[in-house]
Amino acid sequence: GGQKPVGPNIIGHRKRLECPQFENPDPVLIPVGYETSISFEGINLDNYEDRVFTIGTELMKNMEEPVRKESGRFYSFNGFSFSYDKSPETSVLFYMKDKRTGNKMDSTLNVTLYNCSVGREDCSLCKYADSKYNCVWCSKQKACVFKKLCSDSQNTECPNPQITNIVPLFGPMKGGISITIHGSNLGIYKEDIKNITVAGEPCIHQAEKYSVSTSVVCEIGRIGPNKSLSGPVEIWVNGGKRGKSRINFTYRDPVPQGVHPTRGPKAGGTNITITGQFLKTSSKEDVQVKVGDVNCAVKEFGEAIVCKTGEYQQEKLPLEKLPVTIHYGKSTTTSVQSAFQYMENPTVSDLQPRESFVCGGRTIVVTGSGFDLIQTAVMRVQGDNSSSVEEAHEKNDTVVQFRSPTVSGSQSQDFRTYIQLDNWVKELKSFKYYANPVFENVTKKVITETSIIIVKGRGFSRAMTAKEAQAFVGDIQYQVNTLQDDKLFLDPPSSKPRQRRDTRPELLDLMIKFGKGEWVIGSVQYEKKNDLSLYIIIPAVIVPMLLIIIISVYCYRRKSQQAEREYEKVKHQLENLEESVRDRCKKEFTDLMIEMEDHTNELSEGRIPFLDYKTYTDRVFFLPSKDGANDVMITGKLDIPQTRRATVSQALNQFSNLLNSKTFLINFIRTLERSHDFNARAKVYFASLLTVALHGKLEYYTDIMRTLLLELMEEYVHSKNPKLMLRRSEKLDLLTLT
């Protein structure tokens, strides 16, 4: 080593006490907001006789005061006017600085800075402060300040007590509960509390629970007869000062009405909810609940009360339901009879699987009975220095399912595993934890959409099956087909991964999941196919589409033109038919006029030739017969042998009945029309016969005609060539049959 520095101003090693330093400040208590002069002592300053020092502190940044030298080795400075309101007091360390060199020097100038206002919001708290702080209540500022900062009289009496809140606001008629009165100026000492009344009734002060100026606790008494059930709280303190609350305290009795659930295991731990009226009477601390003789710990207290049942310790369970009793304070007891029944604890018969990796997350199925009584089911694992808990995610009366908790530890350990069903706890001694498996990085970096991926490692099958394991390539899940202790075989997904248009290879993470454990064992990429150039793809797709569109437009135009030509052709044919009908009508009308004129001339020469109905009908419906007056249509008599006459007459009657059937008659006419030898003359003759046969039933006959006419119209509508209907002078019955 080199030579040690020497000289008159150099302090040797381990001679710290010989260093120049400043200590022993006076006073050590400094009030906020008041500039207090501080003196202190400097030692080992022989080499700094003519030096000028400044003093500062981190609390007053960028501010330094000059230091005056007093007699001997004593120094002083005027002090700082501090501002600080984060706590009642804090420690302040001053530093000394050589003004010429700017170097800081050793200093133990540590003082306590205090603020009278912090934590002393009222007069009583201010007067309760330690006398060393010299805090006074300044009525002008309505604050607790250092006495030299107050210009008022320092013997100001505190104002009357102020009551800001009462907890609780309700109590039972028999009293016996504690209420807490919150406010300000509630005395300085517990002896200052002289008297308390609640709704006009005395309240016994509980001095051991008194908090200076801010809270008073007392125990209410029984409400007297004929007294008002609601009233203010009044308090008297030393000096005859009285405070009265603006809010009222109310006496009332709670009325429990129901309990849910009504059953629970013998081991306890069931959260039961008690409902009713005015249950929020008193406070949680004054309420005790029992199921029979077993305590029920109150968890929630409000309009309903929730408590957790304790263990029923007797061997034999009661056969009937037990009452649930609520004690309010010392004097009030109320209950719900036959409200809750203890049942046998649940039983566990099996659990599968019985192994898990320390990463946890494996689904454990516990089977047994009595699980429907349970509200909270957890699986807990206790290790050497750790404990883990997992709540059940599915439960019914016979099955509870957990996910094995995650535990810390990389080696196989003797973990103790429990299931806790409410308060009932059972150790699963057969359940084991194994260290997490070890995976090797994948060697095959390029895969196809149909690739089977093989993952290697060790310890896979100790606490996992192929059905439970999961594998992902990027965001695509691969199915684990086979799981061996040292290999995993991954089948490709059923849905193909999305294809990307860019040609850059995309690296995808290959991740294996065993429960909550996740391992990324490398990156792979899909093999890129040799895609056709866009210059080939676009024409190959667009050109056929354009051809299809052009052909479709051409076909449509041609079809439209053909339809237009057909329309013009039909229109021309209709016009020709109309013209022909028009010419024929003119000719027929002319001929008719000539005939009428001839008939008129004949009539003028003689009388009108009247014929009988039968002759008229015969001439209208039938052509002249060669038999003349002996025609069967005129005589109505058939030339039939006597032996066959009865049979023929019966057959004709039956045929007449058939003609009265519309279905038969329509089908009969259609059958005749389909016959090749049923010519126009035969149609006319048949129509005349049918008309004569049905002339007594004109409604039926008209319905037949209408049906046949509609069929004829429909037939002509579907015909390509137009046809003019009802254009001839024949009888209508003939037209309907043609």
What would the mean pLDDT of 18-28 be, rounded to a whole number?
Answer: 84
Backbone angles phi and psi of 149, in degrees to 5: -95, 0
Q: What is the distance between the alpha carbons of residues 487 and 457, in angstroms, rounded to a whole number?
A: 6
What pLDDT does 2 receive?
46
* pLDDT for 36 beyond 50: yes
* pLDDT for 467 beyond 70: yes
Same fold for the pair 350-434 and 440-526: yes
Give CA separation, 243 vs 181, 228, 461, 504, in Å.
11, 20, 77, 83
Alpha helices by DSSP H, 251-373: none
Mean pLDDT (the chain, rounded) = 84
What would the mean pLDDT of 668-687 be, rounded to a whole number?
Answer: 83
pLDDT for 203-232, tens place per residue? Answer: 999 999 999 999 999 999 999 888 889 999
What would the mean pLDDT of 23-44 be, rounded to a whole number?
Answer: 88
Alpha helices by DSSP H, 163-202: none
Residues contacting 704, CB < 8 A, separation 6+: 662, 665, 666, 694
Which tops the pLDDT comparison, 360 or 621?
Answer: 360
The amino acid sitting at 24 is N
What pLDDT does 731 receive?
35
What would the mean pLDDT of 688-705 be, rounded to a whole number?
Answer: 86
What residues does each domain of the chain span? 16-114, 162-251, 255-343, 350-434, 440-526, 641-737
What would the mean pLDDT of 721-730 be, rounded to a whole number?
Answer: 54
Picking from 69-78, 138-147, 475-484, 589-598, which range would have the lowest pLDDT averaged per residue? 589-598
- Where residue 24 falls (left for φ over 0; alpha for ψ -120 to 50; beta otherwise) is left
With cut-offs at 50, 70 and 90, classify the pLDDT of residue 617. Answer: confident
Is domain 16-114 given the CATH code 3.30.70.20 in the classification? no
pLDDT for 87-124, tens place per residue? Answer: 888 998 888 888 878 778 878 888 999 999 898 888 88
What pLDDT does 633 receive?
63
Q: How many CA atoms lie within 13 A of 17 on its CB side?
A: 0
What pLDDT does 254 receive?
95
Q: What letter would DSSP give residue 734? A: H
Closest C-alpha to 253, from 196, 321, 171, 146? 171
**What's the CATH fold of domain 440-526?**
Immunoglobulin-like (2.60.40)
Q: Which CATH class is domain 162-251?
A: mainly beta
* pLDDT for 513 beyond 90: yes
With cut-offs at 50, 70 and 90, classify the pLDDT of residue 604. Answer: low
Which tops the pLDDT comparison, 690 or 326?
Answer: 326
Is domain 350-434 given the CATH code 2.60.40.10 in the classification? yes
Please state, for a pLDDT cut of 70, what percent of the chain lies above it.
88
Dihedral angle computed from the Cα positions of residues 489, 495, 498 and 499, in that order, rounded to the nearest 10 degrees? 80
- The structure tokens 């579907």 sit at 718
Cβ atoms of 220 and 179 within 8 Å: the answer is yes
Q: What is the distance between the alpha carbons of residues 345 and 420, in angstroms, rounded to a whole number?
A: 11
Instruction: Kindly report the CATH number that applies to the domain delimited by 255-343.
Output: 2.60.40.10
- Which of helix, strand or coil describes residue 497? coil
Q: Which of 104-113, 300-309, 617-626, 689-698 tops mean pLDDT?
A: 300-309
